[in-house]
Amino acid sequence: MIEPLAPDLLALHRDFWRWRALTAPDTYDDLFRFDRPPGWRPDWSADAIAERRGALAEFVARHRNLSAPRSVAAEVDQRLVGCALARARWELDTLRGWQRNPYFYVEQAIGPLYALLLVRDSFDAARADQIIILLEQIPRTLADARVNLQGTAAAPFTRYAVRMLGPVEDRMTACAKALAAAFPAERVPRLSAAAAAATEALVAYRDWLTETPPDGTEATAVGAAALASLLYTVALLPYSIPRLRDMAAQEWHRVVATETILRHRHRDLPDDPLFPDAAAQVAGEYRDELAVRDHYTGHDLLTQPETLRHYRFQEMPDYLAPLTWLGVCHDPASQARMDADAVRYISDPAPDLPYFEAAKARDPRTAIAHEGVHAQQLALSWRHPDPIRRTPFDSVPNEGIANYNEELFLLSGLFDDRPHSALFHVNSMRLRALRVEIDIDLAVGAITVDEAADRLARRVPLDSATAWQEAVFFASNPGQGLSYQAGRWQILELLSDCSRRPEFDIHAFHDRLWREGNVPIALQRLELLGSRDHLNAADRLAASGTEA
């Protein structure tokens, strides 16, 4: 049993997340998608942005006026709501994608459609109508973009938007044609008209960005103080930015040495074959996902409830394939659909697949070990008895758990039968160490997006398309790239400290970590250990207002 929640805190939590479902921006990241209410459409007009600021100020005032918490659990809940408020304010007034990033409006225009199409469901009248509503809103969203961006856009983001919109006519035409084949017949004429108008608006937006770019600067960096605000008021990290750099450098050398030794050990081992087609890959993942559950339970690592939904591969639908550039092609479901399986859509394997897709086309467990862990962790947290802890708002704890789990599988022997899969995970640790350096350098303006992409392509190495996409994503979303390592470091420290207790049980530790996986690790330390060390460090760093 948990203690009763303070009514004013619970009401603030519910009101805030109801508001976020109406106003939060769409993003490439699969962890932070929202169930939008029926009839919803994005609104990024100047009036809507002003309304966001007003509503957020009221939420902040309500939080400030809450009574002092009377227990550690209540303190954690109150800090959680405060962190979520800080995240929303940071996005709106510090990151300012709505004012600085032309690609932001591509995500807000087409992203809601993509998110809806990711849901594996039939196209009944209600769903068809919502798709049409979102298509009809695209011209309005792009008209608002022209007003909000004028003279304030960062030129590299403009160039990225133009690049990504290059073949948008063909993509939208293919999507609309496939949707028409699945739609109720009486809705097809309205679908066709809405898709045509949306396509015309997207082409006009691309041409406007090309011919009269609204750029005010070449700089994409938010600055050290802005990054620090995110890390210490939202993520509650205890590490200064210089220390994060040092830790990442040490991790880089560790994983490069590990990979070198493993590659030498397996130097004569031929590459694993690709699955012959998507259907075979789907069937293989089905078997592997069950085997991974057995690995958790057989090694006494993590409880796998009978009621826990699954993570499944699914063949790519024709209507979705043209839009996969808009976001992670994974539907983790949601609190409203918590019993629905999480779905990763895949296409037929091919020799030239990008980095992550190439790995899962040979061994689906490489995806189950990370993305599948997101699916499990979210599903477990959605059933948390405390509703305030059910919703993720920052990448650090969630990505930290998934990154930690990959090494847990390496050390517990999951990949002993597939050395190349083990090598992939060690190489991906190299990527995540490098992401810390790149994330920080982009945020403080030490490197350009092009330099970041080149560094990723050379030093992991990544294929050029993945490297470029990662570089732009991290420039647009400071703090996300470093979240994998920062969260993992905090988890390892928490595990080490907990393991010194005589009653320590790693299975119970993991069960709690997954269930509390939306809670910053600094707050988990407070509950588990009674230690304020990480929390106090984060508060000191936040008060300093700098990267020191």
pLDDT, one tens digit per residue, over 217-236 is: 999 999 999 999 999 999 99
pLDDT number for residue 1: 62
From the centroid of its chain, how far is CA 96?
Answer: 18
Average pLDDT on 34-45 reads: 98
Whole-prediction pTM: 0.97
Tell me what percent of the residues of the chain surpass a pLDDT of 70: 99
Rounded Cα distance between 401 and 487, Å, is 7
pLDDT number for residue 493: 99
Average pLDDT on 258-286 reads: 98
Instruction: Look over the chain and give the mean of its residue pLDDT values, rounded to a whole number.
Output: 97
Q: What is the pLDDT of residues 121-178, one digit of tens each?
A: 999 999 999 999 999 999 999 999 999 999 999 999 999 999 999 999 999 999 999 9
Quick one: pLDDT band at residue 3, thresholds 50, 70, 90? confident
**Could you tell me the two tokens for 249?**
């450098």
Q: Is the pLDDT of residue 186 over 90?
A: yes
State yes or no: cis peptide before 461, omega within 30 of 0: yes
How many alpha carbons lie under 13 Å from residue 508 in its C-beta half-sphere? 6
Q: Is the pLDDT of residue 2 over 90?
A: no
pLDDT number for residue 211: 97
Average pLDDT on 184-195 reads: 98
Q: Is the pLDDT of residue 541 over 70?
A: yes
Rounded Cα distance between 75 and 232, Å, is 17
Strands 342-346 and 330-331, bridge-based pairing: antiparallel
* Three-point CA angle 175, 176, 178, nearest 5°: 65
Quick one: pLDDT band at residue 546, thresholds 50, 70, 90? low
Rounded Cα distance between 535 and 525, Å, is 8
| Cβ contact 256:433 at 8 Å | no
Q: What is the pLDDT of residues 319-365, one digit of tens each?
A: 999 999 999 999 999 999 999 999 999 999 999 999 999 999 999 99
State the DSSP H helix or E strand holding residue 215, giving kind and residue range, or none if neither. strand 215-217
What is the dihedral sign for C-alpha 382, 387, 391, 392? negative
Rounded Cα distance between 267 and 262, Å, is 8
**Max alpha carbon distance in the chain (Å)?**
69
Q: Is the pLDDT of residue 548 over 60?
A: no
* Three-point CA angle 316, 166, 112, nearest 5°: 50
Rounded Cα distance between 482 and 503, Å, is 33
Rounded Cα distance between 261 and 255, Å, is 10
| Cβ contact 214:152 at 8 Å | yes
Q: What residue type is assigned to position 143 of the chain?
A: A
